């Protein structure tokens, strides 16, 4: 039996990466639902602007949910798919009854900050494992989301 998987990574490294990616997936899923809720429930003078922006965010988050799950499969592992597992595994907590525009933006900002932190952990682990595919994915997400964090902070003043 080989100690490498189908894409040539050591089994132990792939297992560690899949575990870390499953934690990231759980955070993405909870964050996606939070942003979806902000989109549905936001109120206030910035409603039209925020309603549209939140849709942009959750559409992108849903794409990333799929990409992270598929990366876990590429590593030869199974993505978690039960919502109860997402709730248990996620550092991002469910947002309930949030409708104030500024509070919604702060929730989005905090969610992206958590994702960036987790993706840096994935990036470090992937780099150590010579897993260019996972490292590139994490790096791309970090770059995009750092710009979003800057813009959200600028929006909040």
Mean pLDDT of the chain: 97
Residue 1's pLDDT is 60
pLDDT-derived band at 2, boundaries 50, 70, 90:
confident
pLDDT in tens, 88-145: 999 999 999 999 999 999 999 999 999 999 999 999 999 999 999 999 999 999 999 9
The pLDDT score that the predictor gives to residue 154 is 98
* Residue 28: pLDDT over 70: yes
pLDDT of residue 127: 98
DSSP string covering the chain, please? --SB-TTS-BHHHHHHHHHHHHHHHHHHHHHHHHHHHHHHH-BSTTHHHHHHHHHHHHHHHHHHHHHHHHHHHHTT------HHHHHHH-SSPPP-S--BHHHHHHHHHHHHHHHHHHHHHHHHHHHHTT-HHHHHHHHHHHHHHHHHHHHHHHHH-
Domain residues of the chain, as ranges? 11-156
Query: Per residue in 59-72, pLDDT tens?
Result: 999 999 999 999 99
pLDDT, residue 50, reads 98
Percent of the chain surpassing pLDDT 70: 99
Which class is domain 11-156? mainly alpha
What pLDDT, on a 0 to 100 scale, did the predictor assign at position 145?
Answer: 98
């Amino acid at each position: 039996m080989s100690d490498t998987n189908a894409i040539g990574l050591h089994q132990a490294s792939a297992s560690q990466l899949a575990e870390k990616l499953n934690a990231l997936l759980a955070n993405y899923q909870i964050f996606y639902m939070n942003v979806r809720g902000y989109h549905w429930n936001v109120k206030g003078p910035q409603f039209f602007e925020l309603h549209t922006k939140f849709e942009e965010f959750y559409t992108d988050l849903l794409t990333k949910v799929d990409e992270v799950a598929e990366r876990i499969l590429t590593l030869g592992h199974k993505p978690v798919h039960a919502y109860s597992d997402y709730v248990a595994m996620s550092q991002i907590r469910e947002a309930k009854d949030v409708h104030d525009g500024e509070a919604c933006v702060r929730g989005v900002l905090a969610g992206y900050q958590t994702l960036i932190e987790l993706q840096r952990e994935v990036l470090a682990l992937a780099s150590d494992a010579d897993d260019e595919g996972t490292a590139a994915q994490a790096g791309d997400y970090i770059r995009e989301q750092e710009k979003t964090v800057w813009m959200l902070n600028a929006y909040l003043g």
